[in-house]
């Protein structure tokens, strides 16, 4: 009886098909990716606000992301955070990026620098010692980082995406993950952008061509699906 139950498909309800497609939702192979929930993007004095965007839509998803993190840990699913920022000496910043920084009025500030307080993840998000943190300089978490190496080393093949912004860093990382043959799920109410139209378009693009960028669902479906994996708080990887 137990053996028969273990072979039953495990999926999360999603559009345009349930995740994962093969019904093999396994905690050890799955990660919740939390993109760039940093002070520089969510504070009223950070990069995002200085670009003229309202950070309140980004802050609004924090309770949802926190619930997802708790559910992931309870199920034994790895949590991976990303942070975007450059070296304090800006040696990793191209001439174009320096031009954009000056154009944005950021010269002389520590905004988007790893030495600045804004680089840190907001205190509303619990970062546990067993969580993985990937620091990046690009929109994609895969470029110039060890993100893919970490995923392969940990045996992670299924990614669930949350964070900000939906249309830029989340979507860029999602697209690259799909091209690298990871199975991807975007959590609609756990992602946000300062541009509502861009946010909605990015979510819509996930589902085009029958799921060209994976699948789309909301946090309640993810939490329900993870609950069926069992309560395994001790299931962490070294």
Contact 122, 38 (CB under 8 A): yes
Picking from 156, 158, 151, 192, the residue whose alpha carbon sits closest to that of residue 178 is 158
Residue 169 a catalytic site member: yes
Q: Which of 36, 131, 135, 167 is catalytic?
A: 36
- 174 DSSP β-pair partners: none
Residue 13 a catalytic site member: no
- The pLDDT score that the predictor gives to residue 231 is 60
CA–CA gap between residue 173 and residue 153 (Å, rounded): 18
Other residues' Cβ atoms within 10 Å of the Cβ of residue 73: 21
Residue 136 a catalytic site member: yes
- The pLDDT score that the predictor gives to residue 232 is 56
- The pLDDT score that the predictor gives to residue 8 is 73
Q: Rounded to the nearest 10 degrees, what angle do helices 196-211 and 171-179 cross at?
A: 20
Q: Which of 74, 136, 184, 191 is catalytic?
A: 136
Contact 144, 173 (CB under 8 A): no
Q: Which of 18, 40, 167, 169 is catalytic?
A: 169
pLDDT along the chain (238 residues), means of 10: 56 97 95 98 92 94 98 97 97 95 92 96 97 98 98 98 98 98 98 96 97 97 93 47
Taking the model in full, what pTM does it have? 0.92
């Amino acid at each position: 009886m137990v053996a028969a139950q273990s072979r039953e498909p495990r999926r999360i309800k999603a559009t345009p098909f349930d995740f994962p497609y093969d019904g093999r939702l396994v905690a050890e192979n799955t990660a919740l990716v939390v993109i760039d929930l940093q002070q520089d993007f969510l504070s009223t004095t950070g990069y995002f606000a200085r670009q003229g965007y309202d950070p309140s839509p980004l802050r609004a998803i924090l309770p949802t992301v926190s619930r997802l993190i708790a559910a992931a840990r309870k199920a034994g699913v790895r949590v991976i955070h990303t942070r975007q920022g450059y070296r304090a000496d800006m040696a990793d910043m191209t001439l174009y990026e320096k031009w954009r920084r000056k154009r944005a009025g950021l010269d002389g500030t520590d905004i988007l620098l790893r030495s600045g307080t804004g680089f840190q993840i907001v205190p509303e998000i619990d970062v546990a010692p067993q969580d993985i943190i990937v620091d990046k300089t690009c929109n994609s978490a895969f470029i110039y980082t060890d993100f893919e190496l970490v995923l392969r080393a940990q045996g992670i093949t299924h990614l669930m995406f949350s964070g900000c912004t939906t249309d830029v860093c989340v979507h860029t990382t999602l697209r690259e993950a799909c091209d690298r043959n990871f199975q991807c799920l975007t959590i609609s109410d756990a992602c946000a952008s300062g541009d509502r139209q861009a946010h909605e378009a990015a979510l819509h693009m996930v589902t085009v061509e029958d799921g060209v960028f994976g699948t789309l669902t909301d946090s309640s479906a993810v939490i329900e699906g993870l609950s069926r994996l069992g309560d395994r708080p001790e299931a962490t990887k070294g």
